[in-house]
Structure 1
């Protein structure tokens, strides 16, 4: 399938209601409003296709950019490619659920995520922290440096309340993902969550929401889900 055919297929799957939900979360035109589950049959037909993924991502159409992440071949992407994708990721559903997810399937994931976390840019920081969440929830504990993750928990504890709004979400995700999916630091993550307490996230034209990592960790403990790892990062 070529770019034009895929764009036609995506447009046919679009729904006005879904489009409105995406726009309320920060998406803007052009977009069709395709539910992510509706993309799966099309993705099965195409499988991995990096050249097509690049074409789709460069359209600037939200649904095409999201679908690009599903059919991308992460191992064919370089640091420069991920930087380019991040430059075009204009809101969190792209930075966290397309770019960070795709990055999490590469050997350069931690290296790139570290630079994004240190960047001071809201969406890059958010993608960096979230990439670690995708990694921790999928890869064996042995692939991580325990002292590095412990230091990252300390950074979260001391900076989360003063961080940009989307970065707060990602840092909160990091605390509970370490607590649930990385057993060597479960106790430290619980301590960090308690020390951090509720995290207020301000949202445009909506009431603030409050995040509480300690509750999420406790729920996982109650359900016997400590050590949870998902089979695949991407759908």
Structure 2
């Protein structure tokens, strides 16, 4: 299959309702409004195909860019490739759920994520923190430096309330993920989450929402799910 054929198949799967939902979250034209689950049969037919993923990502069509993440070969991508993908990731569903997810399947994930976190750019920072969420929720605890993650918790405690909105959301999710999935710092994450308290996320044309990592971690404690790891990062 080439990019043109895939675009035709995606267009046929588009739904106006889904399109409106994506647009309310920040997507803009061009897009078809394809539910992610509906993409699976096409992905199964294609398998991993980096060249096709690059062609689709370059279209600027949200659905095609999302699909590109599903069929991409993360191990074939360099740090420069991920930077290039981030340049086109214009809202959080691309930065955090396509680019960060794809990056999380590479050996260079922490190195690239660290650079993005230090960038000062809202969506790059958001993708960097999100990448750590995907990593911590999937990889063994011994693959991480405990002191490094502890330092990151301190950064969250000291800067979350003054960070850009999407970055705040990803930092809050990082705090929750450490408390939920990284056993060595479970207690420190709880203390940090208590110190941080509720985090207000302001959104364009929508009511502000409040996130509370402490309450989210406690729910997982009550469910006996602490230490949980996902089998896969990408679906």
Q: Distance in 1 between matches of 2:218 and 2:107?
A: 32
TM-score between both structures, scaled by the size of structure 1: 1.00
**Could you give the per-residue CA deviations for residues 65-88 of structure 1, whole angstroms, max 9, x where no partner exists?**
000000000000000000000000
Match of 1:54?
54
Number of aligned residue pairs: 235
CA RMSD in angstroms comes to 0.3
Cα distance, 1:8 vs. partner? 0.4
Aligned twin of 1:75: 75
For residue 198 of structure 2, what is the aligned residue in structure 1? 198
The alpha-carbon deviation at position 205 of structure 1 amounts to 1.3
Which ranges of structure 1 fall in alignment gaps of 5 or more residues?
none
Q: Secondary structure at the match of 1:166?
A: helix
What is the aligned partner in structure 2 of residue 146 from structure 1? 146
Per-residue CA deviation, residues 141-185 of structure 1 (Å, 9 max, x unaligned), is 000000000000000000000000000000000001000000000
Residue 24 of structure 1 and its aligned partner are, at CA, apart by: 0.5
Distance in 2, matches of 1:174 and 1:3, equals: 35
Distance 1:109 1:65 in 2: 20
Residue by residue, what CA displacement relative to the aligned partner does 1:91-117 show, whole Å, maximum 9, x if unpaired? Answer: 000000000000000000000000000
For residues 58 and 5 of structure 1, the distance between their equivalents in structure 2, rounded to whole angstroms, comes to 15
What per-residue deviation string (whole Å, max 9, x for no partner) do you get for residues 199-235 of structure 1? 0111111111000000110000000100000000000
- 1:230 corresponds to which residue? 230
Paired position in structure 1 for 2:182: 182
What is the CA–CA distance in structure 2 between the aligned matches of 1:200 and 1:181, rounded to whole Å? 24
